[in-house]
Amino acid sequence: MRNFLAALLISMAFNGVSASIVEKTVDYRDGNIELEGFVAYPEKTEGKLPVVILVHDWTGVGDYMKKRARMLAELGYFAFAIDIYGKGVRPDNPKASGAEAGKYVNDRPLFRQRLKAGLTELATMPEADMSRVAAIGYCFGGTGVLEMVRAGLPVIAVVSFHGSLNTTMPAEPGVSEAKVLICHGTKDSYAPPAQVEALYEELSKAGIDYQLIAYGDAVHSFTNPAAGNDPSTGNAYNEAADRRSWQHMQIFLDEVFAKP
């Protein structure tokens, strides 16, 4: 029955049929910096909900992140799309997005500080079960969730969708007990084989439980229809990889959130 219901909810999410959910913007701060996140969760719940934090792509907390948050809410999770950039900072072209993302990619302590600010805000939300917090991220956000593990932030699992895999601050042994799932396109030029091999070595040395699923012929941004359909550009939507990676994420979250 559980598998049938999960399959039904997947179908609903991909076909735009929404369960009854609560959604709202959330204003919070990192010091003097104003941030604006987005929350979605099932309207009728009993007790606290397992949490999935979303870390946005290089465009910020926009329509795409809100869509994914709603999909997670339809699966029964408390979804919180956190804001790395700051309230009102929503780049609308690749040049601006690259410049904004670069501020954090090139300053990992600042990146980690913004990630931590999201967790701090999450702890104030009465619907959230802080003992069951996972995080997922797309592109820039995929990089972000790996930084959460490397920094030892209090998450039990992360999923990186077509994120960059390198870092200037690699994981140290014993830093985290979080489980890691990397959903990766085999032709992603932003995370070439050398990056993949370096990540294997890093996570293995740190004693982190990880798995990588590679999707054949998928390039960067394979989950996002806005990326277009021309793989030669290096960014393109891949329907099969999108669908399969979402299903793989659900299997993974079912495992990590399972009751003892």
* Pair 249, 159: CB distance under 8 Å: yes
What is the SS3 assignment for 187-230? Answer: CCCCCCHHHHHHHHHHHHHHCCCEEEEEECCCCECCCCHHHCCC
235's CB contacts (< 8 A; 6+ apart) are 219, 220, 221, 227, 228
Band of residue 258 on the pLDDT scale cut at 50, 70, 90: confident
Residues recorded for the chain: 260
pLDDT tens string 38-86: 999 998 777 899 999 999 999 999 999 999 999 999 999 999 999 999 9
Q: What is the pLDDT of residue 46?
A: 78
Q: Which domain holds residue 159?
A: 2-256
Domain count of the fold of the chain: 1
DSSP state of 46: S
Q: What is the pLDDT of residue 8?
A: 40
* Through-space distance between the first and last CA atoms of the chain, rounded to whole angstroms: 20
* Pair 208, 185: CB distance under 8 Å: no
CATH code at position 187: 3.40.50.1820
